[in-house]
Amino acid sequence: MTDPISGIGGKALSAIKPEQKKDEPVKGAEADAQTASLTSKASDEVKLSHETVGELERAGFDEAKVAQIKQALADGNYPLDPKRIAQGFTDIEKLL
């Protein structure tokens, strides 16, 4: 069979030697080593400083107000000011 672009014949897949196949799964000790390295990477740990934990606790939000805004949006009663929205976009663009 020839390549439709170059017109040059290509090798059949059966002509490729088994040791040349790159998609073949790794067996034996190599597979165990790869699995162990992946497992050790998955167990990374992050420790937050006391200041960070304190800030996260103080940065709470008013769940009732969020629920009220969500309901107003769902009902179509939330007031949208196009000029204020546009001004917000221009402020963001100035930062770029």
- Note whether 88 and 80 are within 8 A (CB): no
* Domain presence at residue 80: yes
Q: What DSSP string runs through 31-44?
A: HHHHHHHHHHHHT-
Is residue 51 situated within a structural domain? no
Judge whether residue 26 has pLDDT over 60.
Answer: no
8 with 2: CB under 8 angstroms? yes
For residue 36, tell me if it sits in a domain.
no
Per-residue pLDDT tens for 60-93?
778 899 999 999 999 999 988 999 999 999 999 9
Q: Is residue 75 part of a domain?
A: yes
Containing structural domain, residue 81: 61-94
Is the pLDDT higher at 35 or at 94? 94
How confident is the model at residue 42, as a pLDDT?
Answer: 62
